[in-house]
Amino acid sequence: MTDDDEIEAILEEAKENKRHTSQPENEEENQDDSPEGSQNEIQGPDRTTAIKDALLAIERGDRRTNVTIRDEQIRAFLDGIESSGDLETAVTRLANRLDDDPEENPTRSDIGRLAIRVGLHECLPEMLEDARTAHKEALLEQADEF
């Protein structure tokens, strides 16, 4: 096999192994039927503490505040609703779902932020509650520093 053939084979394999479809090599070892994941996983801090630590790191400037998502369909959706003038309607409906006030000049970032929050609210309420607790703990910890 020539170098060009080998490079072509690697590129073809990379096309087939997208992030959202590829599996870690040892995933079978880490799977079990418990909802919290594998018992074999290395235990870190509990969820609330981990979220609180992340919030404090963001506040100190040690961690960025932005989140990057790579998804062609979501990108096309956001571009499409922005171009068609439906962005404000979408943001308003998502904000209403959360009993929140919509932004006055909504952006694609607003719809992404709100859509993620709606998803968390609907699908992961216990994790979202841990995040709320972590936020309160982080605020208390920051208040104690002054």
Whether residue 6 is contained in a domain is answered as no
Whether residue 92 is contained in a domain is answered as yes
Whether residue 28 is contained in a domain is answered as no
Structural domain that includes position 102: 45-145
Whether residue 29 is contained in a domain is answered as no
pLDDT tens column, 89-134: 999 999 999 999 988 999 999 999 999 999 999 999 999 999 999 9
Whether residue 117 is contained in a domain is answered as yes
Provide the token pair at 124.
């992961």
pTM score, whole prediction: 0.64
| Residue 56 or 28, more confident | 56
56 Cβ neighbours under 8 A, 6+ residues apart = 138, 141, 142
Separation between Cα atoms, residue 110 and residue 61, nearest integer Å: 22
Structural domain total, the chain? 1
